[in-house]
Amino acid sequence: MPTDTGNATYLDAVGLALDSEMDRDPDVFIIGEDVGQFGGAFKVTKGFLDKFGPRRVVDTPIAETGFTGLAAGAALVGLRPVVEFQFADFISCAFDPIVNVLARHHWRTGDPMPVTMRAPFGGRLRAGPTHSQSVESYFAHVPGLKIVMPGTPQDAAGLLISSIRDDNPTLYLENKYLYRRLKADGPISLDPIPLGVAKVVRQGRDITLVTYSAGVHQGLEIAEELDKDGISVEVVDVRTLVPLDVETIVKSVRKTSRAVVLHEAAKRLGYGAEIAATIQEECFWHLDQPVVRIAAKNTPTPTSPPLEDAVIPQPAEIAETLRKVARA
């Protein structure tokens, strides 16, 4: 079982939140491939089967459509399922129950649908085109789903707790590159963090970087470097894509008058397009420069390390873009 040593990793934080919610609420259960005996593809649920038993930690066949549909049925009789997809790439197998059942049912009947879907996503692990995808935009277009993408261990815990307690179906996307690379700088709080509330993680005056997930850590490191050149970058972590905290983004951009949006997903119709459009609509008369997007190239993620690095945004590209927009 996960323990909080005072410097919990992002992965530990997810496990701590799950453990806490299963202790608190007997209606919460975990379902997915290898979540029990194997402890999950990344060992997030290691030890959960021994502690909570097979009725609350349910191993399934390789059948994403089936166990996602089962979770929908369980939610309708009052339970709070937490569905684990081994990789976000595999969630497309469950597109029908997510889009046509989970996202629609409440709006047809008024019944709550408290299903949390956890899915590790993203690249940088040299895992190739079928284990590196960023899937948020597929689902952000679908009314009825909430989408959460934490970028720090503390947010990973607090936002997962809020997702589980929420009566809406929630897609909770974990960046697996961060699992063992980010550590908390103190004990993890197990208080819920409200969904739909962005966070200004670095104050700045010259330009706003709007980002989420792995982009937060990346953006903070680059902002420190640019500060040496006299460029002050404000970094906004949106944390929840749906609902989007427009007010915090607008307040920041109206202050700096320049905005860059960063994410790991492909640029074409990526979520950055939604954020950029929102900024244009809400801040047009405050902007000194057009909003610029930094995103992955419009191609499947390669397995080859140099090719993957050429596809996914790298620090040099991000720094150069921020520098160019800030000084334009």
Which positions ≥6 away from 291 have C-beta within 8 Å? 259, 260, 261, 276, 279, 280
Q: What is the dihedral of CA 100, 104, 106, 107, to 10 degrees?
A: -150
Residue 236, Ramachandran bin (φ over 0: left; ψ between -120 and 50: alpha; else beta): beta
Q: Are 253 and 279 in contact (CB under 8 A)?
A: yes
Closest CA to 43 of 131, 120, 117, 132: 120
Q: Which helix (H) or strand (E) holds 271?
A: helix 271-283
Q: Are 211 and 120 in contact (CB under 8 A)?
A: no
Q: Are 49 and 75 in contact (CB under 8 A)?
A: no
Closest CA to 255 of 206, 214, 298: 206
Q: CA-to-CA distance for 58 and 127, rounded, in angstroms?
A: 27
**Catalytic hit among 131, 141, 263, 286:** 131
Query: Active site includes 131?
Result: yes
Closest CA to 119 of 148, 151, 86: 86
Give Dmax (Cα) for the chain: 60
Backbone angles phi, psi at 131, to 5 degrees: -135, 25
Q: Is 241 helix (H, G, I), strand (E, B) or coil?
A: strand
Q: CA-to-CA distance for 141 and 302, rounded, in angstroms?
A: 26
Cβ neighbourhood burial of 109 (10 Å; 0-12, 13-18, 19+): exposed
Q: Which residues are catalytic?
A: 131
